[in-house]
Structure formats: structure tokens, C-alpha cells
Structure 1
Amino acid sequence: MAYLWILTTLVASVAQTARNAMQRSLTETLGTVGASQVRFLYGFPFALLFLLAVSQIGGEAAPAATGRYLAWVLGGAVTQILATVLMLATMRERSFAVTTAYIKTEPVQVAIFGLLFLGDHLTLGGALAIVVATAGVVMMAVKPGSPGLTAAGLRPAVLGIVAGAFFALSAIGFRGAILTLESGSFVLRATTTLAWSLGMQTALLVVWLGLFDRPALMKSFGAWRPSLMAGFAGAFASQFWFLGFSLTSAANVRTLALVEVLLAQAVSKRLFGQETTAREIIGMTLIVGGVVLLLWTHGT
């Protein structure tokens, strides 16, 4: 059980890599908010199915939601929406790789927010692991001869870093909600929180698009086939993120999640025959070193 969070995080990372690819392809047809909305609208039914299955298998009813619990969930839900919108907006201005460098400052930020809001303390080794792995991501994203992180101006840099901050806050909100629940197994508490969060996010975005961008809302209903797959992938990934948050600090989960960068690199090499440069090898080595240090610190 002490190391189960490692497995859940790895599964979530693979599912999220697939979800991001699907969601990004929808941005051109649905717009930034419309593409953000499909992961919630089409993910919510799957979250309810997950909750029903967990309740039936475990023989437990979903724990009651208190006002404090709902406040944590709402905080996580709203900041995740904002983070997703800002991430897709950044992708429209900069490359996927550079956007990743901005977003993946998240582990550093989630460690700070976790300490401030939840009292999740990090060891010196854990803090060093976060810094080393994050440095590896930045090194892989910024290549010699290509525009630097700030070459396109301050706007995409600010958007990306703020997106990372909102992703960090959403992780803290969801972990805070899970810890607030007083009954149920860690699986039931995580799945209950997933259902509540996706329900809130669906309601908020349907109302927003209905008031301010009805064409995008109608297009999301029309594009239900690709959106359904993106929704399932999103709900599946979130299920395993939440399981990780129920087992260990959000900083541990989000640092290990940097393996997504290695997965993306492997996919690029496999599908597109892209060569791996010496700089990318150094970056990957730093990521792996940071992750190994994190796991070693966690086990000592």
C-alpha cells in the first residue's frame, strides 16, 4: 500500500498523455473553452459509472458531502478549468514542447501550496528531487537554435506559468477534499471526489458556454464521437490521479508525473522517427534522476 501511489500515478500519466492529444485536436474546431469543456461534459457520466462500480464492489455508500468538503472540491474544480483553458491558450501561441516547460513548473508550485494549505511537508531530498526533475523538463523543451522560453514575449510565459499554478492549486483542492471525507476506503473517497468535481465542472462550463459561446456548446454536442473518447480518457486519468492524491502528497504525485515528458519523447521517436539530441538525453537523465531520488526519499 505504501507504494501503490506509484502505480496509480504511472497509469494516470499514460491516460493523460492520450487525453491531451485528443483534446488538443478538438481546439481548432471547438475553441479553447469548448475543447476544455468536453473533458468534463463527456467525462462526468464515466465518473458516475466509476462511483457506482466502486460502491457496488466495496458494499459502501458514497460518504456524505459537508460544506467544507464541497468548498475544497469547488476550489479544485474551478482552478482546473482555468488551468486547462490557459494551457490550451498557451499551446496556440507556442509549441507543445515549450508549453510543457511552462506547465511542468507545477511540481515546484504544488509543493509550496501543499505546505501552505495542507501542511504536507517535504524532506530536503524530496525538494531536491522536484527541482532536478523540473530542470530536466526545461532542458528538453528549450533546444539550441530554437526560440527561447521568452522569445515570443511575456504573454505566453505568464499564461503557461499561471496555468501551472492553477494545476497545482487544483491538485491541492482535490487532495484537501479527499482528506476531508471521514468515511469510506481511499478508493471510494477518491471516486466520490471525482464525481463531484466533474459534476461541478460540467455545470459551470455548460452555463458559461450557454451564456457566452453557444455555438461552441452546440459544436461540442455535434462532435460527440471524438469528445466521448477524450471524456473517457480524462475521467480515467483523473480517477488514478485522485487515487494517488488519496495515498500521498500532491507534490509526490505531480513530480512522478513528469514521466509524461519521457512518454511523449518515446511516442515522437516511435511515430515520427525523430532523433534524440544530446541535450534531450541530459534532460531525460535529470528527469529520471529526480524521479529516482523522489522514490528513494519516499522509501527511506
Structure 2
Amino acid sequence: MITSPIWLPATLIAGAVQAWRTAIQRRVSHSLSINAAGLVRYLYGIPFTLLLLGGYALLVPASLPAIAPTFLLFCVGGGLAQIVATNLLIAAFKHRNFVVGTAYSKTEAVQGAILSFLLLGERLHPLAWAGIGCGVTGVMLLSAGGKRMGPGDFLRALGQPAAKAGMASGLFFALTAIGIRRATQAVGGDDRILAALLVLVATVLVQTLMQGAWLMAREPGEMRRVLASWRVSGQVGLLSALGSACWFAGFATAPVALVRIVGQVEVAFTMAFGHFYLKERMRGSEAAGLLLVVVGVALALMGAL
């Protein structure tokens, strides 16, 4: 059920910011371990999430809403799922077949639609399901980077470590979205943006504690590298906080699957950045994939009206 039209601009902004953040985070990941690279976005995101919550509270004064006992449980669950998903995605990238890992991670929209139906009872219009199919197909074409990979190639690749890690990553990203949505539902009141920001602050704090404790116990040397990378990592933290605030606002006000399929415009922003800024030539298969993503978003929006 859609409770506010704010979900659409929030999701579009989230896709754009995430594409930007990913481009910067790649610079950090080259010099850090998987867990250290993951910690960067949470640790350096804390001050910015607090500023977002404080700024919103000043602009829209309101008393602290009632919070259900399950609030922290869902924040921890959603936060842990996101840590696992991010680590699995980075692991998929470290395998030789980057293409396959990326493509299978994009099954998140389908997995999210199924899980949100089973766990949250969210139902989608047939047009939205058609949009999910178009969008996932388009993203897989784009992930192929112009290489000839038919349906049979993707099916045969199922046994590859990159494919397994990619699909598992998509599953945990879907679980992240469901956990965040349930956490926002545990916040009382009609202000869903305030609920989303409260969930964001709580989730980022517990993620920093969880992954930070793991890093200190298992990779203490990496913590020094995390702190030494503050110039670039601070940018990652800022963009991560902005992007997550928009994602969480979307999850608080619209069905999980709908937010995720529209959020795939992130791919379009990435392609546009490469084409117009980096002057990269767009191949025919990439143009077809981009068109399918756009059609998928349009169908999803038509099904939401």
C-alpha cells in the first residue's frame, strides 16, 4: 500500500546518489579488505545521518513518536542483512566472472517481490510484475557489458562462484528492504519521513557496532586503514547517508518491490555518467538493456496508479 507520493522522487534520488557513491567507493575498496570497505559507508555515514535527522526535526518540529519493542530487532535484522549482502557482492566482484556476479545480484527485484508477498502480504498489479521482468532483463543485458550472453549462457553460469554469490547478495538485499520496512512500521505516528530517518540512524549505528567489532577482532590492522582513508571515505559516508535516507523513505511509503524496480534507474544514471562524462561509447545491447529498464520502470509506475 502506497501511503505517500514522496516514494517516487525519493527512489529516483536514491538511485542517482547510489551510482555516484559506488563510483567513489571503488577507490576505497582497492586498498581495503571486504569488511573494511563495507565498514566505511556505515562509520563515516553516522555524522551525516544524525545531521539529516536533526535538520528534519528542526524543519518539521514534532514530538518523538511511539516506538514498538520490535523496532530495534528489525533494525538489527535489516542492518545485518545489508552487511552480508554487501560483502557477498564484493566477493562476487573478486571472482573472475564480474559480469555473471553483477547480473545475478540484480535478481533482487524478483526475490524482493516474492519475499514481500510472503512476509508482508504486499500484492502487486500485473503491470508491476511485467515491469519487474523487463527491468531485471534489461539490467542483465547491461551487466553483460556488450558481450554475447544469451539466456543459456546465464543458466549455465549458475554453478559459478560469482553467480552463487551474486544471487545470494540479491536475496540479502531483498531481506534488507523488508527489515527496514518493518522497522519503519514499528514507529508510530503519521510522519513516515521521520520514521525512515529514525530507522536510518538506528540501523547505521548498529551496523557500525557489528562490523566494527568484527573488524577489530579479526582484522585489527584494517581499522587503521579505514581511519587513514578519511578523505575519500568521508565522501562515501555522505553519499551513503543521503542515498540510504532516500531508500528508507521509499520503503516507508511504498511496497518494497515497487521501490526496488524503480530504483533500478541507478543503472541508467551509471550509463549516462559513462556516456556523457567519460565519453564511453554505448553498444547496441547496452542501449537495448537501458530501454528495457526504462520500460520496466514505466510499467511498474502504471501498475502503481
TM-score for both structures, normalised by structure 2: 0.92
Of 172, 183, 189 in structure 1, the residue corresponding to residue 178 of structure 2 is 172
**C-alpha displacement of 1:63:** 3.0
Query: 1:288-299, aligned counterparts within 5 Å?
Result: 288-299=294-305
Q: Does 1:209 align with 2:224?
A: no
**Paired letter, 2:230:** W
Query: Could you say if the C-alpha distance between residues 61 and 96 of structure 1 is closer, same or farther in structure 2, counting changes exceeding 3 Å?
Result: farther
Of 13, 16, 33 in structure 2, the residue corresponding to residue 14 of structure 1 is 16
**Paired letter, 1:251:** A
**Paired letter, 1:92:** K
Partner of residue 31, structure 2: 29
Of 276, 287, 292 in structure 1, the residue corresponding to residue 293 of structure 2 is 287
Query: 1:136-155, aligned counterparts within 5 Å?
Result: 136-142=138-144, 143-145=146-148, 149=154, 154-155=160-161
Q: For 2:240 and 2:247, locate their aligned partners in 1 and report how far apart those are by CA, in whole Å.
A: 10
Contact kept, 8 Å, 2:101 with 2:165, in 1: the verdict is no
Q: For 2:147 and 2:64, locate their aligned partners in 1 and report how far apart those are by CA, in whole Å.
A: 52
Corresponding residue SS for 2:38: helix
Q: Does 1:245 align with 2:251?
A: yes
Q: For 1:242 and 1:97, locate their aligned partners in 2 and report how far apart those are by CA, in whole Å.
A: 28
**Paired letter, 2:147:** P
Q: Percent identity?
A: 33
Contact kept, 8 Å, 1:60 with 1:184, in 2: the verdict is no
Count of aligned pairs: 299
Query: Could you say if the C-alpha distance between residues 280 and 53 of structure 1 is closer, same or farther in structure 2, counting changes exceeding 3 Å?
Result: same
Partner of residue 52, structure 1: 54
Partner of residue 122, structure 2: 120
Contact kept, 8 Å, 1:55 with 1:61, in 2: the verdict is no
Return 5+ residue gaps in structure 1 as ranges: none
Contact kept, 8 Å, 2:67 with 2:188, in 1: the verdict is no
Q: For 2:300 and 2:158, locate their aligned partners in 1 and report how far apart those are by CA, in whole Å.
A: 34
Return 5+ residue gaps in structure 2 as ranges: none
Query: Could you say if the C-alpha distance between residues 108 and 284 of structure 1 is closer, same or farther in structure 2, counting changes exceeding 3 Å?
Result: same
Q: For 1:96 and 1:57, locate their aligned partners in 2 and report how far apart those are by CA, in whole Å.
A: 44
Partner of residue 168, structure 2: 162
**C-alpha displacement of 1:271:** 3.4
Give CA-to-partner distance per residue, 1:192-243, whole Å, 9 cap, x none.
0000000000111111111000111111011111111100100110000111
Give CA-to-partner distance per residue, 1:123-149, whole Å, 9 cap, x none.
211111101111111122223357955
**C-alpha displacement of 1:67:** 2.5
**Paired letter, 2:271:** Q
**Paired letter, 2:186:** T
Query: CA RMSD of the aligned region, Å?
Result: 1.9
Q: For 1:96 and 1:2, locate their aligned partners in 2 and report how far apart those are by CA, in whole Å.
A: 38
Give CA-to-partner distance per residue, 1:10-58, whole Å, 9 cap, x none.
1111111111112222112111110100000010111111111222222
Name whichever of 59-68 and 280-289 sits farther off. 59-68
Query: Could you say if the C-alpha distance between residues 280 and 47 of structure 1 is closer, same or farther in structure 2, counting changes exceeding 3 Å?
Result: same
Q: For 1:88 and 1:60, locate their aligned partners in 2 and report how far apart those are by CA, in whole Å.
A: 40
Of 37, 40, 45 in structure 2, the residue corresponding to residue 38 of structure 1 is 40
Contact kept, 8 Å, 1:24 with 1:88, in 2: the verdict is no
Q: For 2:174 and 2:20, locate their aligned partners in 1 and report how far apart those are by CA, in whole Å.
A: 21
**C-alpha displacement of 1:184:** 5.2
Corresponding residue SS for 2:33: helix
Partner of residue 197, structure 2: 191
**C-alpha displacement of 1:92:** 1.9
Q: For 2:18 and 2:99, locate their aligned partners in 1 and report how far apart those are by CA, in whole Å.
A: 16
**Paired letter, 2:175:** L
Q: For 2:198 and 2:131, locate their aligned partners in 1 and report how far apart those are by CA, in whole Å.
A: 31
Query: Could you say if the C-alpha distance between residues 157 and 2 of structure 1 is closer, same or farther in structure 2, counting changes exceeding 3 Å?
Result: same
**C-alpha displacement of 1:107:** 0.7
**Paired letter, 2:220:** R
Of 212, 216, 220 in structure 1, the residue corresponding to residue 226 of structure 2 is 220
Q: For 1:283 and 1:204, locate their aligned partners in 2 and report how far apart those are by CA, in whole Å.
A: 38
Corresponding residue SS for 2:123: coil
Name whichever of 96-105 and 144-153 sits farther off. 144-153
**C-alpha displacement of 1:95:** 6.2
Query: Could you say if the C-alpha distance between residues 188 and 82 of structure 1 is closer, same or farther in structure 2, counting changes exceeding 3 Å?
Result: same
Partner of residue 88, structure 1: 90
**C-alpha displacement of 1:66:** 3.1
